[in-house]
Amino acid sequence: MDFEQLRAFYTLAQTKNFTKAAEMLHLVQSTVTMRIKQLEEKVGKPLFIRDKRSVEITQAGLTLLPYAERILKLSHEALNEVASLQPYEDYLSIGSLNAIWTSTLEPILKEYHYRYPQIAISTKTGHSSDVIQYLLDNVIQIGIVYVPPSLPTFDVIPTWEDEVVLVCAPDNSITSATHVDSRELRNMPLLYMNWGPPFNEWIRQTLPRNYVPKLTVDKAELAIDLIKEGVGVSLLTRSAVKADLAAGTLKELIITGNKPPKRSAYIVLPKDKKNKPSVEKWLGLMKEWGYST
């Protein structure tokens, strides 16, 4: 498919207006109209329903849209990767979760940046599923995730285990106890973080079947801020709260009874990229910091 036709299609799908799409693409409107028509001829179906007031995408257009987005994204990433090699000798792109970047990888990234000035680096952040898709799309060379994929062309390396701990504000009025039986979590204002399948199974075993958390958050940093404000307690990875526990801005409540499972992290990388010099250097640096590679 023609990239310019796909770009016109994607932009029109976002704006739903030929005039706005033409302005965004720095084209005249007739050129956008022509490119959409040419693409529709290739596809064999109309991609938009047009009238005098609006443009609506068809079912065929909705089907094509995510593929167009990925193709354009990959094209952009490929050009950036090639461009980044000047004046550098090599290039490395790493993807991981926000919680892993802030709790574990940030100091390693800084050391890599200073130690290897001849290598250009870029990072991508998302959920584990996003990071795996970045790997499949060849957007990144290394992914570090909590949920390991089953992919025959990738190496999946268990690299560390992270304990899940219960934390609260140091001056909390929720409980005066220092130890909490896991069954008592049902009676506490729990800020719920989803730590994956083993953790979810533990929650199902520990809390009533009809338990619904009052507040669910998807970022450890947000949970920490809310805990400090006295909103509730939360089950977070020790690496995410290590600095706050040391500083005394958070307090750990020791869980007794049925303890939550540890959170395992995995390095995922294509088998054919493992011997790439920039990848070898990253894995070597992680090993220096005590992680299995």
Q: Residue 217 pLDDT more than 70?
A: yes
Comparison of pLDDT for 247 and 74, the residue scoring more: 247
pLDDT of residue 62: 92
Domains of the chain: 3-72 (1.10.10.10), 85-161+265-288 (3.40.190.10), 164-261 (3.40.190.10)
Q: What is the mean pLDDT of residues 202-226?
A: 90
Confidence grade of residue 54 (pLDDT, cut at 50, 70, 90) = confident
Q: Which residues contact 136 (CB under 8 A, 6 or more apart)?
A: 151
pLDDT of residue 81: 66
pLDDT of residue 210: 86
pLDDT of residue 152: 87
Q: Which of 275, 270, 180, 292 is nearest to 234 (CA)?
A: 180
Residue 77 CA to residue 68 CA, distance in Å, equals 14
- The bridge status of strand 154-162 relative to strand 164-168 is unpaired
**Mean of per-residue pLDDT scores for the chain:** 90
Q: Which residues contact 259 (CB under 8 A, 6 or more apart)?
A: 182
Residue 262 CA to residue 237 CA, distance in Å, equals 8
pLDDT digits (tens, 9 = 90+) for 236-251: 999 899 999 999 999 9
Is the pTM here over 0.75, yes or no? Answer: no
Q: Residue 24 pLDDT more than 70?
A: yes
pLDDT of residue 286: 95
212 Cα distance to chain centroid: 25
Q: Residue 123 pLDDT more than 90?
A: yes
